[in-house]
Amino acid sequence: MNLRSKLKMLNKTLSFAKAMWCCNCFGFIKRRNPQKVKPAINSNLSQELLLEDDFDDEDSFCNDEVNNTTSGDDSEVQSRPKRSEDVLIFRVENDMICRQFPVKETHRVVRTEDENGNKMINEYIREYKIGSGSYGKVALYQSSVDGKHYAIKAFHKSHLLKLRVAPSETAMSDVLREVFIMKMLEHPNIVNLIEVIDDPESDNFYMVLEYVESKWVCEGSGPACALGEETARRYLRDIVSGLTYLHAHNIVHGDIKPDNLLVTRDGTVKIGDFSVSQAFEDDNDMLRRSPGTPVFTAPECILGITYSGKAADTWAVGVTLYCMILGEYPFLGDTLQDTYDRIVNNPIVLPKGLNPRLNTLIEGLLSKDPKQRMTLGDVAADSWVIGDDGPIPEYLCWCKRKNLEREDNDESNMLP
């Protein structure tokens, strides 16, 4: 069965909720005189949970099924954006995939052992476990065909179908959306999906990913965890390049943070983990849910019914830069209530003696007002980001290359 047929079948069989993580949303609060705003959250989550993205809070926001109304007239209702799943299916059916070569699809799982007793999945020999999450495990494997190492995420479909992330939705929809999004992308600063192994006769489901050697994790322990300006600049340039590519393809990551930024042996940063990402059919990137990590959540996600996913991603880049430079989180409280209160109300505090250009950049990224916040384009043009390396190189993606080839062919055909 080809990808198009599978997508159609999945679209029919999986009843995605009209509003994922349906919940009680906060109303948008406008205040002329700045006052402390206490988000109505009744939670005493530990700091450890505030740094994770898989907690289930009843006040998290709903998904991108949004009725946007114009200010002052609730009767003027704009068209409802399509769900990510609909957008992704449309892109596949219309060959709107930004990859030169498609992701390999394998529909048979053979579990064996090599001569040394190491477990094997098809051609891949297991070496050791890398990590685990709420949905599945990740292990390092080596291909017996090309000798390269790969990170393989393993899931049990039965577990995904039983694990509820909303009253009408299971974890399977999250995993499938992640797979569909990664099948469409190819960029040097984004972790590459190599192969999907899905045997209809097996409960096992595998994502074979490019293996990236390490990652930088902010422990929130102060200067000892900081990276220094040069390393932070290099990392930030890679993050901006990868995220700009995503946004240009109308995809919002939704959980930018150090833990999802993998670092290769040569120091290149690659964005990973698209489990909460969303796709849009156009520039209308309005969302109602905020399923990412609390300490990286933008203030408008806490106070607003709808918010711009791209602007929220950019805020998370600002928090990440703050962590890289200072080795701690800018608005981390003891509880979820306290953390959200600090994000909404507390001014950004930067130490004296910080590079003035860097100071301006961090303040611009962490502007409470998303309309005043720096965009990724602003960041790319910033003097501190440019430094001695010059502007961030523009990536000529497969989509652009195909369009340029078409234009060249059209011009050639028009010549006498």
| pLDDT attached to residue 201 | 94
Q: At residue 134, what is the residue type?
A: S
H helix and E strand count, the chain = 13, 19
Residue 365 near residue 311, CB atoms below 8 Å: no
| pLDDT attached to residue 224 | 66
Residue 240 near residue 48, CB atoms below 8 Å: no
**Residue 113 φ/ψ, nearest 5 degrees:** -135, 150
| pLDDT attached to residue 67 | 39
| pLDDT attached to residue 300 | 94
Long-range Cβ contact pairs of 145-149 (< 8 A, separation 24 or more):
148/211, 149/211
| pLDDT attached to residue 347 | 96
Provide the 8-state DSSP code for 191: P
Q: At what angle do helices 309-326 and 356-365 cross, to 10 degrees?
A: 150
Q: How far apart are CA 152 and CA 177, in angstroms?
A: 17
Q: How far apart are CA 296 and CA 318, in angstroms?
A: 9
Best CA proximity match to 204, nearest among 128, 136, 281: 136
Residue 130 near residue 140, CB atoms below 8 Å: yes
| pLDDT attached to residue 26 | 21
Beta strands in 124-170 (DSSP E): 124-132, 137-143, 149-156, 164-166, 169-170
Active-site annotation holder among 174, 255, 341, 382: 255
Catalytic: 255?
A: yes
**Residue 125 φ/ψ, nearest 5 degrees:** -100, 125
CA distances from 347 to 13, 40, 297, 341 (A): 48, 20, 15, 11
CA distances from 26 to 60, 139, 298, 305 (A): 9, 40, 14, 6
Angle CA(206)–CA(209)–CA(214) in degrees, nearest 5? 125
| pLDDT attached to residue 240 | 98
Q: Is 371 annotated as a binding residue?
A: no
| pLDDT attached to residue 404 | 83
* Other Cβ atoms closer than 10 A to 67: 13
Give me Rg for the CA atoms of the chain. 22
Tens place of pLDDT per residue across the chain (416 aa):
544 454 444 444 333 333 232 222 222 223 334 455 555 454 445 555 666 764 444 333 333 434 333 344 444 344 555 788 888 888 888 878 899 999 999 999 999 999 999 999 999 999 999 988 778 899 999 999 999 999 999 999 999 999 988 777 889 988 999 999 999 999 999 999 999 999 999 999 999 999 998 877 666 666 767 888 999 999 999 999 999 999 999 999 999 999 999 999 999 999 999 988 999 988 888 888 777 899 999 999 998 779 999 999 999 999 999 999 999 999 999 999 999 999 999 999 999 999 999 999 999 999 999 999 999 999 999 999 999 999 999 999 998 888 887 776 766 666 66
Q: How far apart are CA 409 and CA 415, in angstroms?
A: 10
Please, what are the domains in the chain? 96-210 (3.30.200.20), 214-386 (1.10.510.10)
**pTM for the complete prediction?**
0.81
The DSSP-derived string for 19-49 is STT---PPPP---SS-------------HHH
